[in-house]
């Protein structure tokens, strides 16, 4: 038998050269060529995505559109943020009408199996619940026998309520309404007894009522809803978006904010090694930039222009906002604080 000898140093040299070559995907190439990233959000969801007085979308979900633009194009303002209904959002991604979506889309097995889209990073862990008029005197979902429930066509909501009511042999009637404005009008006018959706969405929708205090969100949580950023299939784009989100998580864990990042950069030589790897162009993020095809200072731009995860949460949903959502002690806290948000190592 002939013995085959491998020139290991030469082989490793070839592999090393391959790893430094940028193999950008077609979607990433398109974003760079257009100098714009098209990102889909909900049309009117206070706290998550709602147009301001200038027609510019603001909110928790919109900041992840800006995160991606800051990482890929170096400028958060180059995110072309467009409002769209839920049932059309995934169809638009599959039809190649946008680059990504950040609009509270639940990652499920059948959706993830669709070859026309990719679920990339879970930004918020939610659960489905129910909102009712206080005048009904209902304090638990188990008291909803015979109720008419308004729900969104095409969402996981319909399956969840079918499972929940069916497993308990509770009779109900559903009003399946795709348009959000029509759905809320039906609920607020009394056509429906109950509005079913993710609990964060219910908190947002409640604020759209003429008298929000007339409505209550029941304590029942009937499902798991990992709300996840969605992109077109493109390995390079998926990697860029995923790690931009990880930059935000790592920055929070290291107490790096949009306010202090410049001071940290100015004294980078005296920072812990984890901070150096997160920010220095000649360290881990610089190597990632070369391999993915991002600006050398991409991680800095994400933190400076958008902020760390905690900043985004507190800015739009936290205790000092209308929502007053306490993050501490919830699944949306960092893993160090008992939550599910686990910063992957950048090294």
CATH code, domain with 34: 3.40.190.10
As for how many domains the chain has, the answer is 2
Query: Tens of pLDDT along 146-185?
Result: 999 999 887 889 999 999 999 999 999 999 998 889 999 9
Q: Is 146 exposed, middle or buried (0-12, 13-18, 19+ CB in 10 A)?
A: exposed
What is the distance between the alpha carbons of residues 249 and 269, in angstroms, rounded to a whole number? 22
Average pLDDT over residues 326-340: 96
Same domain flag for 162 and 311: no
Edge to edge, the sheet with strand 118-126 lists 79-83, 37-41, 100-101, 225-231, 118-126
SS (H, E, C) 55-112: CCEECHHHHHHHHHHHHHHCCHHHEEEEECCHHHHHHHHHCCCCCEECCCCECCHHHH
pLDDT band at 9 (very low <50, low <70, confident <90, very high): very low
Residues 164 and 116 both lie in one domain: no
332 in any annotated domain: no
What is the domain range of residue 302? Answer: 23-126+226-327
Shared domain check, 247 and 118: yes
Residue 13 pLDDT class (50, 70, 90 cuts): very low
pLDDT tens-place string over residues 76-89: 999 999 999 888 99
Say if CB 267 and CB 259 are below 8 A apart.
no
Q: What pLDDT does residue 24 have? A: 67
Give the residue-averaged pLDDT of 208-215.
95
pLDDT for 1 equals 41
90 plus 169 within the same structural domain: no
217: helix, coil or strand?
Answer: strand
In degrees, rounded to 5, the angle at the alpha carbon of residue 129 between the alpha carbons of residues 125 and 131 is 135
Is 86 among the domain residues? yes
């Amino acid at each position: 038998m002939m013995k085959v000898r491998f020139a290991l140093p030469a082989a490793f040299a070839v592999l090393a050269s391959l790893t430094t070559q940028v193999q950008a995907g077609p979607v990433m190439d398109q974003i760079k060529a257009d100098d714009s990233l098209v990102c889909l959000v909900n049309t009117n969801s206070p706290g998550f995505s709602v147009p301001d007085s200038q027609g510019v979308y603001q909110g928790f979900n919109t900041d992840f559109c800006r995160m991606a633009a800051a990482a890929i194009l170096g400028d958060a303002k180059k995110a072309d943020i467009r409002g769209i209904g839920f049932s059309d959002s995934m169809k638009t991604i599959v039809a190649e009408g946008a680059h990504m979506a950040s609009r509270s889309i639940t990652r499920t097995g059948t959706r993830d199996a669709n070859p026309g889209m990719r679920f990339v990073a879970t930004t918020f862990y939610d659960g489905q619940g129910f909102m009712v008029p206080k005048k009904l005197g209902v304090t638990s979902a188990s008291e909803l026998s015979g109720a008419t429930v308004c729900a969104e066509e095409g969402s996981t909501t319909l399956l969840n309520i079918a499972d929940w009511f069916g497993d308990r042999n509770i009779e109900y009637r559903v009003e399946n309404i795709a348009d959000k404005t029509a759905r809320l009008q039906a609920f607020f006018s009394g056509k429906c007894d109950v509005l079913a959706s993710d609990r964060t969405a219910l908190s947002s929708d409640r604020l759209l009522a003429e008298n929000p205090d007339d409505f209550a969100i029941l304590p029942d949580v009937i499902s798991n809803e990992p709300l996840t950023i969605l992109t077109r299939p493109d390995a390079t784009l998926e990697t860029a978006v995923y790690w931009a989100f990880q930059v935000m998580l790592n920055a929070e864990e290291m107490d790096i904010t949009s306010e202090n990042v410049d001071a940290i950069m100015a004294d980078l030589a005296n920072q812990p090694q984890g901070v150096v790897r997160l920010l220095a162009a000649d360290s881990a993020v610089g190597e990632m930039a070369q391999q993915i095809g991002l600006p050398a200072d991409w991680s800095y731009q994400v933190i400076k222009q958008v902020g760390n995860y905690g900043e985004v949460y507190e800015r739009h949903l936290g205790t000092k906002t209308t929502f007053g959502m306490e993050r501490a002690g919830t699944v949306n806290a960092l893993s160090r604080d008992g939550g599910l948000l686990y910063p992957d190592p950048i090294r």
